[in-house]
Structure 1
Amino acid sequence: MAKLTVTRADFFASIQDMGRRQTQHMGLAQSGVADEHSFFRANYLVGNDLATPVIEIITGLFSITTDVPVTMALTGADMSATLNKIPLSPWQSFVLMPGKLLEINNSRGNGIYGYLAVKGGLEIDLCFNSAATVEREQLGGYQGRKLAVGDELTTILDRPLCPTLSTPPDQIPQFDRPLTLRIMPGYDHDSFPDEAKQMFLSSEYTVTTKIDRTGIRLEGPPIVWGQGDILSKPVALGVVQITNDGAPVVLLKERQTTGGYPMIGVVSRLDLFKLVQAFPGTPIYFALADPLRLRSELMRFYNFWGALDS
């Protein structure tokens, strides 16, 4: 069993897994990792069950030590990590030795969320069948909050160090490029004027600085609703709400359970994993897609990782 000690946590690092299921009717956020692809890959590289909780690090500025040798992997955003001041290549496993320091620095503009997996997993109490942290609800993770300097985490099992595994270069995503987000029509899609729907699908939007685990606000030509107030309704992961000033907001894992803004579409979950890694200023486009095709692609994605884990 290893004891990991947090020595730096300047911004936001938290324990996350796949999130909570069937709890939104109680007013609880789904939560969970923002980028499931990077999450699965990190656990795969250290030989964990793919749903094992990890440390999700937003934009970097995090460091950690250990009291015994432990195998780790860092995926997601490129955060200029170093191992005892020596540059560390992401997307592969490595061993953190006692007396050495893993430093995760600022993101280089290629992604926002990083994922640190530890072989054997972290000893975290489950809350509603999940270890996911929701700080505003003081729920899950490490004492219901983000990690702080001095926090100590322990691994669940003593396991031997595993061979170094790396990710093929062509399977490492690049997050610093324009994105086209495939969407399915939302609850209110048909109630938008045709001109508004055309504007939405033909315009370029950009990611603003108003981003967090709840949602991402985009900037671009305003979308006119023109139907007045509507009743609040449940909101799904990836819903695109149109605010009163016409701005699209894409809702993420820590979204509220209901929303009163009109919903023009729902972003494909696979595309959502890319959107969450987009830096402010990234160009964003929307395109309607066949819901059945998007579902089929998502099932292939989960089946692929399930096959790797078998």
Structure 2
Amino acid sequence: MSFEVLKPGHFSCIQDLGRVGYQHLGITTGGPMDEHAFSWANRLLGNSPNVAQVEITYGVLSLLAETDAMIAITGADLDARINDIHVAPWFSYSVAAGDRLEFNTPLSGLRAYLAVVGGFSATHKLGSCATVAREGIGGITGQGDYLTKGDRLNFDPHAHRSRATVPTWAIPDYDAQLALGVVPGYQAAQFPDDELEKFFSSSYEVTKNIDRMGYRLSGAAIDSGLDGIISEGICYGAIQVPGDGQPIILMKDRQTIGGYPKIGSLTALGAAQLSQRGPGASVNFYPITLYEAMLQRRLFGVP
């Protein structure tokens, strides 16, 4: 049972929650850029949290259903259509054999998630099928390939389920002004107070230099007061400040070590929100404690 890929889109790929425990070997985690949307897609279908989905970036993906299936779509509104009838994200839907499912260009947000009951089948390596193209690991073949024309997204047969929707309070507004909480790191103490104040009181713009590795921002330059640091392990959402003072947010396919000073880190929820913004979007930052970060995650409905 499968979907046939008629048009693969730009960066459509298989993702689960990623590889855990291999960064000391230089292998990054991968996983969905928007964990919140990914988690709700599986929840809509009663799936286990870690089953594989398709992450669709910028759209232009077209699939042919070769059998009946129950799907869920969450995340960005990429003008998804079933047989040319628009379907909104944050719902589950039934599709029949012969139906055509298309994702067009973004109406709101950048990344959508397509889930099916039981998850899509893919080769697991190091405990995950998450696609990391730079490292050549994950995906349908296990070689880190993005989807291509003619691929088949296989899944197990399943019974019909009732349609479901994500509650309104848990659906983000990807067009809203973005303010993200930052958990300060130990290197924050090395930044002069006036530079920290500048960072937390300034607006930054998302540049064109964005991908699954990182988001480069443009705005008030920050002087860390450090010439550099010895390269060390870096986490998802870390905010690096290179020599030009322009912040870089490290995302799912980040390198595992880095030598730039770091102000702190976004939460997974905050980084997910950033991943739905494109070039030109504005973002502000404010400091939060680890306890506040954990509370926000629970209140926002991340499973």
Class of the TM-score when normalised by the shorter of the 2 chains: over 0.9
Residue 127 of structure 1, aligned match among 125, 129, 151: 125
Task: Tell me the CA shift for residue 292 of structure 1.
Answer: 2.3
- Deviation per CA, 1:27-56, whole angstroms, max 9, x where unpaired? 001110111111111112222212211000
Q: For residues 291 and 255 of structure 2, what CA distance do their matches in structure 1 show?
A: 26
Q: For residues 30 and 50 of structure 2, what CA distance do their matches in structure 1 show?
A: 14
Task: Tell me the CA shift for residue 171 of structure 1.
Answer: 2.8
SS in structure 1 at match of 2:186: coil
Task: Tell me the CA shift for residue 120 of structure 1.
Answer: 2.1
Written as runs of structure 1 = structure 2, the 5 A alignment for 1:77-226 is 77-108=76-107, 110-143=108-141, 144-155=144-155, 157-226=156-225
- Deviation per CA, 1:180-229, whole angstroms, max 9, x where unpaired? 11111123211112221111111111111111111111110111124213
Q: For residues 198 and 90 of structure 1, what CA distance do their matches in structure 2 show?
A: 38
Indicate the percent of aligned positions where both proteins have the same amino acid: 37
Most deviating of 3-12 and 160-169: 160-169
> So what's the TM-score if we normalise by structure 1?
0.93
Task: Tell me the CA shift for residue 245 of structure 1.
Answer: 0.8
Q: For residues 302 and 135 of structure 2, what CA distance do their matches in structure 1 show?
A: 31
Most deviating of 120-129 and 69-78: 120-129
Task: Tell me the CA shift for residue 301 of structure 1.
Answer: 5.7
Decide whether the 8 Å contact of 1:177 with 1:282 is kept in 2.
Answer: no
- Deviation per CA, 1:2-25, whole angstroms, max 9, x where unpaired? 121100113000000111111100
> So what's the TM-score if we normalise by structure 2?
0.95
Label 1:286 to 1:305 Cα distance change in 2 as closer, same or farther (>3 A): closer
Name stretches of at least 5 consecutive residues in structure 2 with no aligned partner.
none
Name stretches of at least 5 consecutive residues in structure 1 with no aligned partner.
none
Aligned to 1:247: 246
RMSD of the TM alignment (CA)?
1.5
Q: For residues 161 and 91 of structure 1, what CA distance do their matches in structure 2 show?
A: 18
Decide whether the 8 Å contact of 1:65 with 1:96 is kept in 2.
Answer: no
Q: For residues 275 and 34 of structure 2, what CA distance do their matches in structure 1 show?
A: 7
Give the aligned length: 301
Most deviating of 221-230 and 111-120: 221-230
Written as runs of structure 1 = structure 2, the 5 A alignment for 1:43-62 is 43-62=42-61
Aligned to 1:75: 74
The one-letter code of the counterpart of 2:193 is D
Most deviating of 57-66 and 119-128: 119-128
The one-letter code of the counterpart of 2:133 is E
Decide whether the 8 Å contact of 1:217 with 1:249 is kept in 2.
Answer: yes
SS in structure 2 at match of 1:111: strand
Q: For residues 102 and 226 of structure 1, what CA distance do their matches in structure 2 show?
A: 52
Decide whether the 8 Å contact of 1:47 with 1:162 is kept in 2.
Answer: no
